[in-house]
Structure 1
Amino acid sequence: MSSLVKVLREKYGREFISVEELSSELGVSVSELIMEAKSKKIKAVKIGRNIQLSLKGIECMLSDEELNDNEYQNSLDQVATPTVTSEQSDERIELVECDVDMSKGCITYVKSSNRWILQIDLGKTVDGKRIRKSKSFKNEEDARQALALELAQLNKISQREVGDIYWKGNPITSQTQLKDFFEYFLSLCTAKPHTIEGYFETARQIARDLGEVSLQNLTTSVITQFFNDFKKNYAQATINKTFSVLKRALELAKECELIEKNPMSNMKRPKTTKEGEVNKQVYKAFKDEELKQVLKACKEYSQCTYTMAKVLQYTGLRPGELRALEWRDIDFEVGVIHVRQAATQEREGMTLESRGTIKSVIGTTKTPYSVRKIPVNSEVLEVLKEWQEYVKSDRAYEKARKCQYVFPSTRGGMIGSTGLSIKFRKAMQQAGLHGRGYELYTFRHTFCTNLIKQGVDIPTVQRLMGDNTTDVILKIYTSVEERDLLSATKKLKGYFENRDL
């Protein structure tokens, strides 16, 4: 018996321990343990919320011994019978058996989110960091098919030399064109779906001009010329994002020893020279009279649009937070709206040539700081109650009556971002404000502006807005201050005119 297994048995006093406990004991990641268990055909079971491995299986993982099937199955039965309930047994982690030469893959079922997670181990970077790819699916069949497809594409390579990098069956070298390296770079990015989509869009813009240039020919002068042309046509925010994505991609190329140095390491971020471009973002807010017009138009357009407008007026919610709002999030007794989640758009099958397919999903808020409680007044609560009764009685919302979302579509699911935008666009047209640069976020900026006008301190405004930095708030504050200064000088002009000075 392995001395480590003996120590574990004495320390924990049981035949199964969690992968988190084993991870701590061995000093390796949980994911690596699961992958190793799969490669040795050691079953992992989920008991409650913990993924567990048997000490017998761990002993085999740490040695060259073969599993004694009967003995191993007995250990599984012993822990499963008294501990795993019928509900929990459905939550077992199934490690998919697959013959893989260069990469390992598995799918796991996460009961809490009712999703199947695909994970593929793509090896390590030159500095020893794990390279993994993961996707989530609604059902097991889709996850299995995607796993089979991914592994089939990866395993077209017969024998790969250690240290070489391959993507879609082709080696990546210093001769690889930037557009092909971008595909590899983007496959390794881990961020929220909306952020990844932004990376793809930025990569497409770069690839239009530099896509066919090889990595080794991407010199500082070539990139400088690209940005000299680019800055003439784009705003500063776009330039900043483009500069950042390209620099990060080339830094990966350097880490993979495809290029000797990052040609952008000493480059300064260029400034826009676009004609008429102001190098600071303007955050527009409704004037008081305009807000009255908008609310009146929303009420005339539909009960749903008016209710959403009132909620936005008094909470400053982001559109995604509004769409994901559930009835359980509204505390009518206390007068508080809880912001716990946000709707976002997720694209599948994105490449530099295709934007893939899009779908709406519920995810986390923009940042952990965005999870918050917003007190609301009786007017908002009354409007929400009226809307709740409207949904229960209106025939158009018959399919949505059991829906948990505050603002469902008439089909019963979450209202789409396009549907939300259309409602407000039509209301804006009705109010005579369409084409003035107003959008859904204008409600958020108006909320912030009015808080500042009322003398609310910046930290409190920041907490109500759910922003982890004060950048946007301070820009809105500056904008408000400038308008107040202009208003003050106009009053001064009138003061002097009245005195004939």
Structure 2
Amino acid sequence: MSSLVKVLREKYGREFISVEELSGELGVSVSELIMEAKSKKIKVVKIGRNIQLPLKGIECMLSDEELNDNEYQNLLDQVATSTVTSEQEISDERIEVVECDVDMSKGCITYVQSTNRWLYQIDLGKTPDGRRIRKSKSFKSENEAKEALNIELAHLNEISQEVQERGIYWKGNLITSQTKLKDFFEYFLSLRTVKPHTIEGYFETARQIARDLGEVPLQNLTASVLTEFFNNFKKQYAQATINKTFGIFKRVLEFAKECELIEKNPMSNMKLPKTTKEGEVNKQVYKAFKDDELKQVLKACKEYSQCTYTMAKVLQYTGLRPGELRALEWCDVDFEVGVIHVRQAATQEREGMTLENRGTIRAVIGTTKTPYSIRKIPVNSEVLEVLREWQDFIKSDKSYEKARKCEYVFPSTRGGLIGSTGLSVKFRKAMQQAGLHGRGYELYTFRHTFCTNLIKQGVDIPTVQRLMGDNTTDVILKIYTSVEERDLLSATKKLKGYFENRDL
């Protein structure tokens, strides 16, 4: 038994410990502990709203020891049935990540009228993407809540002091105010708790920043230095890139402030720059096919290959994201009911990423963009018939011989998941063969066209949102505005013709 587990058993007098308690003992964040437990496949149990780790599981997590599944399950059953009995211990305690940026590092006491209980809340810091981690616990009386809050604050201050004395190290080097921005950026990104695709975007943003400021020490990143950087940056990039870069950069410097490496965030009072790149100010972002263009594109896809045509028809009537299309399986297509289920998406992960090295890439099946993206999309008989024909084609065509047992609707000819590049290449070649290359047509244009056509048919925004699988209406409303502007222009032209015919 490890010495740490022995100490924990003696200190807490039980065979399990919450991740918050373990976080305090080890001086690491709750999110890091949960990620470590997942990577070592350590099973956990939830009591109320608390995530509990059996001490035996912690022992396995800290070593290479393996635990028999049956033995482990018995431990979990014991934990689950040995529910604590005191009123205070079974009170509403939870750790949550919140969007609110209010600092509660000193804690607060609140009376909750609906439950007739007193609640303390305390800030545990921020995740790397800038959201607050907050802990709360409720009690019968105000005095109990105050006493518990003081104990928690004292415990957190003790941990904070230990961290300060120990210092922060990254790749064997102590991080100080003299640390170069590129090194601190890598340390910041190592604490990621976001999806692999998102962290890849973070690294790309960090590289753009590091090209100009990577060698600058943290303490030298003044407001004037950053203003000069963004004055040049806004001349080269579109507004979407500026928004992303500004937001991430600001969070990194805020994290440096929280680590007490800089006194204040030099970007705290900076305003978001507006792009001045030529051709970007009034650029239409969300392009959709016109009716005659869509006919041309579908005709080109059909003449190029059965696969490309089937993909185009599915995209035309579903508005799927390309990653959702790649991950679509035959079991997701309900031919009897006429529904396509969207429950996963193909994406890519990079391993070993640094600011100098993009690492190795591999295609994986993961979750959809957001939980809201899991949805059912009704489809008509035309789409179902095209899919049946494609299914028969795979069974008969020699080039798909290795893919016949594959579960994916659009597999690679080798029988696995088709890559994002492979999907795009098929469509691009179809456009080139039809002489349509260079017109800005891409797979995502089908999604914007799907949304545009729904709006034109008078479908309400909430229904469009559900079919698109978007958790916000930002993109939909922009497309709606674009459609409305075109309809207004068309209406005024008709009005002009009306008056001309009457010689008015």
Q: Which residue of 2 aligns with 1:423?
A: 426
2:15–2:54 contact (8 Å) kept in structure 1: no
Q: Which residue of 1 aligns with 2:58?
A: 35
1:79-478 pair list within 5 angstroms: 162-278=165-281, 281-478=284-481
1:37–1:44 contact (8 Å) kept in structure 2: yes
Aligned in 2, Cα 1:31/1:452: closer, same or farther, shift over 3 Å? farther
d(CA) in 2 for partners of 1:7, 1:371:
35
Aligned pair count reads 395
Aligned in 2, Cα 1:308/1:128: closer, same or farther, shift over 3 Å? closer
2:319–2:468 contact (8 Å) kept in structure 1: yes
Q: Which residue of 2 aligns with 1:487?
A: 490
Q: Which residue of 1 aligns with 2:45?
A: 20
Aligned in 2, Cα 1:173/1:5: closer, same or farther, shift over 3 Å? closer
d(CA) in 2 for partners of 1:200, 1:436:
31
2:45–2:51 contact (8 Å) kept in structure 1: no
1:143-174 CA-to-partner distances (Å, cap 9, x unmatched) read: xxxxxxxxxxxxxxxxx984301111111110
1:370–1:465 contact (8 Å) kept in structure 2: yes
d(CA) in 2 for partners of 1:450, 1:244:
34
Give the C-alpha shift of residue 47 in structure 1.
4.5
Q: Which residue of 1 aligns with 2:499?
A: 496
d(CA) in 2 for partners of 1:31, 1:474:
49
Give the C-alpha shift of residue 278 in structure 1.
2.1
Secondary structure in 1 matching 2:275: coil
- Letter matched to residue 363 of structure 2: S
1:44–1:53 contact (8 Å) kept in structure 2: no
Aligned in 2, Cα 1:225/1:450: closer, same or farther, shift over 3 Å? same
TM-score, scaled relative to structure 2: 0.73
Give the C-alpha shift of residue 4 in structure 1.
4.5
d(CA) in 2 for partners of 1:39, 1:218:
39
Secondary structure in 2 matching 1:360: strand
Percent identity reads 79
1:112-166 CA-to-partner distances (Å, cap 9, x unmatched) read: xxxxxxxxxxxxxx957899xxxxxxxxxxxxxxxxxxxxxxxxxxxx9843011
Structure 1 unaligned blocks of 5 or more: 9-17, 57-125, 132-159
Q: Which residue of 1 aligns with 2:23?
A: none
Give the C-alpha shift of residue 345 in structure 1.
1.4
d(CA) in 2 for partners of 1:55, 1:246:
47
Give the C-alpha shift of residue 48 in structure 1.
11
d(CA) in 1 for partners of 2:343, 2:188:
32
Aligned in 2, Cα 1:269/1:35: closer, same or farther, shift over 3 Å? farther
2:346–2:363 contact (8 Å) kept in structure 1: yes
Secondary structure in 1 matching 2:216: coil
Give the C-alpha shift of residue 53 in structure 1.
5.6
1:187-223 CA-to-partner distances (Å, cap 9, x unmatched) read: 1112111111110010000001111110011111111
2:316–2:450 contact (8 Å) kept in structure 1: yes
Q: State which drifts further: 421-430 or 453-462.
A: 421-430
- Letter matched to residue 460 of structure 1: T
2:16–2:53 contact (8 Å) kept in structure 1: no
1:19–1:33 contact (8 Å) kept in structure 2: no
Secondary structure in 1 matching 2:166: coil
- Letter matched to residue 319 of structure 1: P
1:416-459 CA-to-partner distances (Å, cap 9, x unmatched) read: 11111011111122333221212110000000111111111110
- Letter matched to residue 172 of structure 2: G
1:318–1:444 contact (8 Å) kept in structure 2: yes
Secondary structure in 1 matching 2:297: helix
Secondary structure in 1 matching 2:264: coil
- Letter matched to residue 331 of structure 2: R
Following TM superposition, where does structure 1 have runs of at least 4 consecutive aligned residues deviating by more than 3 angstroms? 1-8, 27-56, 126-131, 160-163
